[in-house]
Amino acid sequence: MTVSEDELRERLAAIEDPLVGEDIVSMGLVNDVRVDDGTASISLAFNTPYAPAELEIGQAIRDVVADAGLEPDLYAEAGADHGFDEEVMPNVRNVIAVASGKGGVGKTTVAANLAAGLEQLGARVGLLDADIHGPNAPRVLPVESDPGITPDEKLAPPTADGVKVMSMSFLIGEQDDPAILRGPMVNNVMTHFFENVEWGALDYLVVDLPPGTGDASLDLLQTLPVAGVVIVTTPQQMAVDDARKGLRLFTKHNTPVLGIVENMSAYHCPNCGDVHDPFGRGGAAEICEDYGIELLGSLPIHEDFGADGSADPVVKDADSPVREPTRELVADVADRIGEINRRKVAGLLEVGDPTDEGEPDGPSPTEPGPGPKL
């Protein structure tokens, strides 16, 4: 006897979102269920491709469908009906900002490895180096060519290991030339990157912001619906103090803070085997405890992770001891974006300051409409 669509929906209600703790049907994640000729076609309000938790939910749905004696046909479809903005950069599903309170903490290295790691999972990814005055993302993700020009005169980003990269460094004549720009000019450059670059269809656009809380960060928040921000710091007290200021900037603009990355957290001496803390310890943990946010990862001082200024993302290097914690960071960021997106669909987001009780929440990511097969 063939299972009806209503019966199948009831069975799907037994599947719980592993991060939210509610069942996927009551959360509104199941858009539509159709059973036809032995196949169950299920539309899901998913917007975070290759996030581990969403892959886990997808496998649970397949198991339920198989137990019902049907073939699963799953696809993602989340758009304006779920509150996702389809007007600004409609072909970009999720904008992830990577920020820091001060320079020199490894923000660009984290951003480039995040982009490369998401691409390695299978996602379509772009990296926007919006650090106008110190653009060096192409050093970590060496591009294969200069930007091209499309027939409608937009910039076509070059690629590095499958990641589309755009940087202010492509627009500067000489590598040593400074970008001498006042506030309005910075805003113009940011608008140019958003409107006059042909990014194509992306699952994630990672934006490497300048350090601090200046014009570029404000322009991003006022122009695009940012899915979430990753804040990078070192354990050093000055960096931690400035990271707190950056965190407050984003929460005041109702942008979800995905968590803190503590870079240069320790040095593992290869000779004596001891662990040293040249920048102190526990700074990021203090922020997380004070504001009720997640510590996404602690990354050691290591030459593979930008300590020597070398190129290529460590997440691509199977032999590096820093690779695994970096890959875990990538997975955690994707899961946090997915959790925020699904909470938005379910109406479970609470926008507010992180000093209030509950987690900081904010505006949603963009969504291009019907998504990939799952």
Indicate if the pLDDT at residue 33 is higher than 90: yes
| Sign of the alpha-carbon dihedral angle for 36, 40, 41, 43 | positive
Work out the percent of the chain whose per-residue pLDDT is above 90. 39
Work out the angle at residue 98's Cα, subtended by the Cα atoms of residues 197 and 157, and round it to the nearest 5 degrees. 20
What is the structure's pLDDT at 209? 87
Contacts of 180 (CB under 8 A, 6+ apart): none
What is the structure's pLDDT at 180? 40
Q: What is the pTM of this model?
A: 0.85
What is the structure's pLDDT at 82? 59
pLDDT tens profile 71-124? 999 999 876 665 566 566 788 999 999 988 877 888 888 999 999 999 999 999
Task: Answer yes or no: are the C-beta atoms of 326 and 232 closer than 8 Å.
Answer: no
| Ordered domains of the chain (ranges, CATH) | 5-78 (3.30.300.130), 92-368 (3.40.50.300)
What is the structure's pLDDT at 362? 36
Which of 79-88, 176-185, 288-297 comes out lowest in average pLDDT? Answer: 176-185
Task: Answer yes or no: are the C-beta atoms of 275 and 269 closer than 8 Å.
Answer: yes
Residues 329 and 322: their CA atoms lie apart, in Å, by: 11
What is the structure's pLDDT at 122? 95
Q: In the beta sheet, which residues pair with residue 276?
A: 267
Q: Pick the more confident residue, 205 or 249.
A: 205
Rounded average pLDDT over 346-354: 67
Q: Pick the more confident residue, 219 or 360.
A: 219
What is the structure's pLDDT at 176? 45
Work out the angle at residue 321's Cα, subtended by the Cα atoms of residues 231 and 243, and round it to the nearest 5 degrees. 15
* Greatest mean pLDDT range, 32-46, 125-139, 358-372: 32-46
Contacts of 85 (CB under 8 A, 6+ apart): 225, 363, 364, 365, 366, 367
Which of 151-155, 232-236, 312-316 comes out lowest in average pLDDT? Answer: 312-316
Among candidate residues 283, 241, 292, the one with its CA nearest the CA of residue 262 = 283
What is the structure's pLDDT at 165? 92
Give the DSSP H/E element, type plus range, for residue 62: helix 52-67
Indicate if the pLDDT at residue 356 is higher than 60: no
What is the structure's pLDDT at 197? 87
Phi-psi region of 61 (alpha: psi -120 to 50; beta: other; left: phi over 0): alpha
Task: Answer yes or no: are the C-beta atoms of 226 and 93 closer than 8 Å.
Answer: no
Indicate if the pLDDT at residue 216 is higher than 70: no
pLDDT interval class at 313 (50, 70, 90): confident
Work out the angle at residue 367's Cα, subtended by the Cα atoms of residues 325 and 314, and round it to the nearest 5 degrees. 20
pLDDT tens profile 262-290? 988 777 676 776 667 666 676 788 888 88
| Sign of the alpha-carbon dihedral angle for 239, 248, 251, 282 | positive
Give the DSSP H/E element, type plus range, for residue 277: none
Look over the chain and give the mean of its residue pLDDT values, rounded to a whole number: 81
What is the structure's pLDDT at 104? 80
What is the structure's pLDDT at 85? 60
Q: Are strands 163-167 and 159-160 parallel, antiparallel or unpaired?
A: antiparallel
Work out the percent of the chain whose per-residue pLDDT is above 70. 76
pLDDT interval class at 167 (50, 70, 90): confident
What is the structure's pLDDT at 1? 62
pLDDT interval class at 134 (50, 70, 90): low
Task: Answer yes or no: are the C-beta atoms of 128 and 208 closer than 8 Å.
Answer: yes
Indicate if the pLDDT at residue 186 is higher than 70: no
Residues 40 and 192: their CA atoms lie apart, in Å, by: 44
